[in-house]
Amino acid sequence: METVRDNLRFSLDSFSEAGVSCEFVLSPSTLLPYLTASGDEDPAGAPNLVTSLRGRLDLNLAGKRLILKGTFAVKTEMICARCLSTFIGKVGDAIDEVVELGGRGAGQAPEDPEGFITVKDGLFDLAPLLAELFWLSWPVRALCRPDCAGICPGCGANLNDGPCLCSGASATRH
């Protein structure tokens, strides 16, 4: 199994009946443009990736459909939903997708581009799909730790650092 670095472009010519298997490593600088709507290098609100996105992919062709199975993971900066502290969390998931390939020969892109990968000159890029899977795996409520005490509603002190002395905390503490 080969390791692909900073490039998830594949050639249709490289597929055999057994498909293609690879491990991949996408650096933060390579992945960041795919994680933003406009493709800017460093827009506000973009995730701060701490490690490269790493994973494994098994790709198989079935007519004009590409079947993807594998996993991915990356460490990124997050903000705790309870205490508002910044922490390093992991985003990752299993990959189990079937997408349509378009643009092969006389093939045309479907009206709805969702679930569709464009093939140009026999090549297609899976980085945009990995970026979408990254966002779909982002936690709804990221917590710095399972027992995070949050912040005091009275003074805003981080209760993970210990109790505060304001009256707002005593009204809400157990």
pLDDT tens for 155-168 read 989 999 999 888 65
Task: Give the Cα separation of 90 and 168 in Å (integer).
Answer: 33
pLDDT tens for 31-71 read 888 887 655 554 556 789 999 999 999 999 888 888 999 99
Q: What is the pLDDT of residue 114?
A: 56
Across the chain, the runs of DSSP E, i.e. the strands, are 2-5, 9-11, 20-26, 53-62, 65-79, 86-102, 116-118, 123-125
Side chain identity at residue 53, one-letter code: L
Q: Would you list the domain boundaries of the chain?
A: 2-143, 149-174
pTM, two decimal places: 0.79
Task: Give the Cα separation of 155 and 72 in Å (integer).
Answer: 40
Average confidence (pLDDT) over 143-161 = 93
Give counts: helices (H), strands (E), the chain.
3, 8
